[in-house]
């Protein structure tokens, strides 16, 4: 919808019955409109030092409330109506952009990459913030969520430098700023990041009761409960593999699968089958290979770049009774978080269920597949609603359940979701 402001785009979609009007979204649309108008009035060729401070927006609320949809309206408006900087000899297409929209995991991956490149230089986070300010006036982060202590420790200073350079930040999240990294290891190191968000963005709770992912969609099955019979399980898997022109699975000879591996970020991950002889590459994994063991969301980012369809077989139930566990000093971050002079040891009691680590990876996998519009097909030992219904990740898994429902639709597969 070119040359249209956020509010005009929203009204047009309502008028054409492509979306239903939601009064809870109205305030968010109005705040995005105000920000859009403010940015339009600026001289975008100004340096970051001469820019005026403009408050961004932090949208948070339950899954399915339209946070990402609204932010994307804003991004679309900026992309279509804000003039780019005048080109010069040093500029390139990346430097000429006014706004960058990223999933938050991708943003942090970029930050870690730049930190590695700046190793040994003083104040590397300040250099990274300065580079962002030269490239972009606005940074938009989808799914702002912090669970890693390394990210938590970086963000306080990075956000401080970014806001000092008057970068406008627009974020979506499932939780309020003061709930970010809740119960995280050494959370006090993350508090400056929370303070910076609350000071430099307008925080809006999108608290509507309507879950827009429950709207009428055309169902297309992508989740298959495994039958009890081992032979029937093999037949189900073989049918799914044949559907994507994949080699027939040798489930009766699992040792053959050990010779099939793909290199992701320097590590080998065993897969069951793949087909790259097509414009829409397909790969199939067993759940244990992709969600159990040394895997991170960075692995899933790389997989999503290489494939259009992912089959995930033999997903087990991930619920479980939580239990207390003492975290040994420094096991999460090689001891780099220990402040000896302050007597901070990094030891704490945490609550985990036996499958929570795998569940956390499954959540990250589905998030990445959804963000990149991958088609995902799952076989599992329990019905979908029973995948995870008890444990310490109930809050996070709500988003996964909502996204799996939406991914099981013709509209999602045809990439026609709003």
The pLDDT tens digits for 53-76 are 899 999 999 888 889 999 999 999
How many residues does this entry show for the chain?
Answer: 418
Backbone angles phi, psi at 99, to 5 degrees: -135, 140
In degrees rounded to 5, what are phi and psi of residue 286?
A: -80, 145
| Cα Rg of the chain (Å, integer) | 23
201 and 89 belong to one structural domain: yes
Please indicate whether residue 257 or residue 400 has the higher confidence score (pLDDT): 400
Q: How many domains does the chain have?
A: 2
Based on the fold, state whether residues 119 and 265 are members of the same structural domain: no
Average pLDDT over residues 133-154: 90
Using DSSP bridges, classify how beta strands 138-142 and 309-315 pair: parallel, antiparallel or unpaired.
Answer: unpaired
Domain membership of residue 366 (yes or no) is yes
**282 SS3 class:** strand
Report helix, strand and coil shares of the chain as percent, to nearest 5: 45, 15, 40
Say if residue 39 is in the same domain as residue 177: yes
> Which pLDDT score is estimated for 336?
37
Q: pLDDT exceeding 70 applies to what percent of the chain? A: 80
Final residue belonging to a domain, choices 150, 177, 210: 210
- Residue-level pLDDT at 351: 56
Cβ-contact 152, 193 below 8 angstroms: yes
Q: Report the candidate in 297, 284, 292 with the shortest Cα–Cα distance to residue 354.
A: 292
Contact 82, 229 (CB under 8 A): no
Domain-ending residue, one of 184, 210, 236: 210
Check pLDDT > 60 for residue 326. Answer: no
Residues 200 and 251 in one domain: no
Same structural domain for residues 221 and 183?
no
Per-residue model confidence as pLDDT tens digits over 75-105: 999 886 655 444 343 433 443 468 999 989 8
pTM greater than 0.75 (yes/no): no
CB-side neighbour CA atoms (13 Å) of 286? 16
Q: Is residue 339 part of a domain?
A: no
**pLDDT exceeds cutoff 90 at 394:** no
Mean pLDDT computed over 110-136? 93
Residue 2's CB is within 10 A of a number of other CB atoms, namely 9
Answer yes or no: is 341 within a domain.
no
Query: Would you say residue 329 lies in a domain?
Result: no
CA distance 260 to 235: 21
Give the CATH number, domain containing residue 405: 3.40.50
pLDDT (0 to 100) of residue 41 = 84
Can you give the residue range of the structural domain that contains 239?
216-320+355-413
Residues 264 and 198 grouped into a single domain: no
Backbone angles phi, psi at 109, to 5 degrees: -60, -40
The mean pLDDT value for 207-228 works out to: 83
In a domain, 245, yes or no: yes
Please say which residue of 210, 231, 249 terminates a domain.
210
CA gap 13, 133 in Å, rounded: 33
Decide the pairing of beta strands 261-264 and 223-225.
unpaired
Residue 258: φ, ψ to 5°: -65, -20
Query: Which of 137-141, 248-252, 303-307 is predicted least confidently?
Result: 248-252
Identify whether residues 377 and 274 lie together within a single domain.
yes
| Residues 83 and 148 placed together within one structural domain of the fold | yes
Q: Does residue 172 sit in the same domain as residue 131?
A: yes
178, containing H or E segment: none
Same domain (yes/no): 138, 240: no
Inter-CA distances, 300 with 109, 235, 370, 418, Å: 12, 28, 11, 24
**Where are the strands (E) in 163-222, listed by range?**
168-173, 201-205
Say how far apart CA 372 and CA 297 lie, in whole Å: 13
Please indicate, yes or no, if residue 249 is contained in any of the structural domains.
yes
Q: Please say if the pLDDT value at position 342 is more than 70.
A: no
Q: Which of 111-125, 200-214, 296-310 has the lowest mean pLDDT?
A: 200-214
Mean pLDDT of 31-39: 94
pLDDT computed for residue 84 by the predictor: 47
Give residue 150's pLDDT.
Answer: 85
Q: Report d(CA 2, CA 43) in Å as an integer.
A: 21
Confidence label for 138 from pLDDT (cuts 50, 70 and 90): very high
| CATH number of 20's domain | 3.40.50.300
Q: Is the pLDDT of residue 45 over 60?
A: no
Cβ(317)–Cβ(382) below 8 Å: yes
Question: pLDDT value at position 391?
Answer: 82
> Does 85 reside within a domain?
yes
Q: How many CB atoms lie within 10 A of CB 329?
A: 13
Where is pLDDT greater, at 94 or 324? 324
Same structural domain, 82 and 171: yes
Which pLDDT value is given to residue 347?
A: 46
Determine, yes or no, domain membership for 327: no
DSSP 248: P
What does the alpha-carbon distance between residue 15 and residue 11 come to, in Å, rounded to a whole number?
6
Residue 50 has what pLDDT?
A: 61
Contact 298, 320 (CB under 8 A): no
Token pair for 225: 């409960």
Residues 81, 227: one domain? no
d(CA 225, CA 313): 10
User: Span 166-194, mean pLDDT?
Assistant: 91
CA 138/CA 124 separation, integer angstroms? 21
- Tens digit of pLDDT for each residue in 6-22? 999 999 999 998 888 88
The pLDDT of residue 248 is 57
The residues pairing with 224 across neighbouring beta strands, listed in sequence order, are: 379
Per-residue pLDDT band at 205 (split at 50, 70, 90): very high
Query: Which residue's entry shows tokens 């793949």?
Result: 274
CA-closest candidate to residue 180, choices 136, 148, 208, 207: 148
């Amino acid at each position: 919808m070119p040359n249209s402001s956020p509010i005009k785009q929203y009204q047009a979609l309502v008028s054409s019955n492509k979306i239903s009007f939601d009064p809870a979204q109205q305030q968010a649309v109005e705040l995005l409109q105000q920000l859009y108008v403010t940015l339009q009035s600026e001289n975008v060729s100004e340096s970051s030092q001469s820019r005026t401070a403009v408050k961004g927006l932090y949208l948070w609320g339950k899954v399915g409330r339209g946070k990402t949809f609204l932010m994307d309206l804003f991004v679309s408006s900026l992309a279509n109506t804000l003039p780019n900087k005048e080109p010069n000899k040093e500029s390139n297409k990346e430097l000429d952009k006014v706004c960058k929209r990223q999933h938050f995991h991708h943003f942090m991956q970029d930050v870690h990459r730049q930190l590695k490149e700046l190793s040994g230089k003083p104040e590397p986070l300040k250099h990274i913030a300065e580079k962002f300010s030269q490239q972009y006036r606005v940074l938009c982060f989808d799914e702002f969520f912090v669970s890693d202590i390394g990210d938590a420790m970086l963000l306080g200073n990075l956000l401080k430098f970014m806001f000092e350079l008057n970068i406008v930040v627009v974020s979506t999240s499932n939780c309020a700023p003061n709930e970010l990294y809740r119960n995280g290891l050494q959370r006090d190191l993350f508090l400056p990041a929370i303070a910076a968000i609350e000071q430099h963005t307008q925080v809006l709770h999108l608290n509507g009761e309507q879950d827009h992912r429950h709207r009428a969609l055309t169902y297309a099955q992508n989740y298959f409960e495994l039958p009890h019979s081992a032979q029937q399980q093999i037949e189900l898997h073989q049918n799914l593999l044949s559907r994507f022109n994949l080699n027939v699975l040798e489930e009766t000879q699992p040792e053959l699968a050990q010779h099939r591996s793909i290199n992701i970020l320097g590590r080998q991950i065993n897969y069951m089958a793949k087909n790259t002889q097509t414009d829409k590459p397909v790969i199939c994994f067993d759940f244990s290979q992709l969600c159990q063991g040394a895997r991170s969301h960075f692995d899933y980012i790389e997989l999503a770049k290489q494939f259009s369809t992912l089959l995930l077989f033999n997903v087990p139930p991930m619920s479980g009774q939580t239990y207390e566990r003492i975290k040994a000093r420094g096991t999460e971050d090689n001891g780099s978080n220990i402040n000896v002079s302050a007597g901070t040891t990094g030891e704490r009691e945490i609550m985990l269920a036996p499958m929570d680590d795998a569940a956390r990876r499954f959540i990250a996998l589905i998030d990445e597949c959804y963000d990149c519009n991958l088609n995902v097909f799952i076989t599992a030992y329990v019905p979908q609603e029973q995948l995870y219904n008890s444990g310490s990740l109930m809050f996070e898994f709500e988003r996964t359940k909502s996204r799996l429902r939406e991914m099981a639709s013709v509209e999602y597969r045809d990439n026609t979701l709003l």
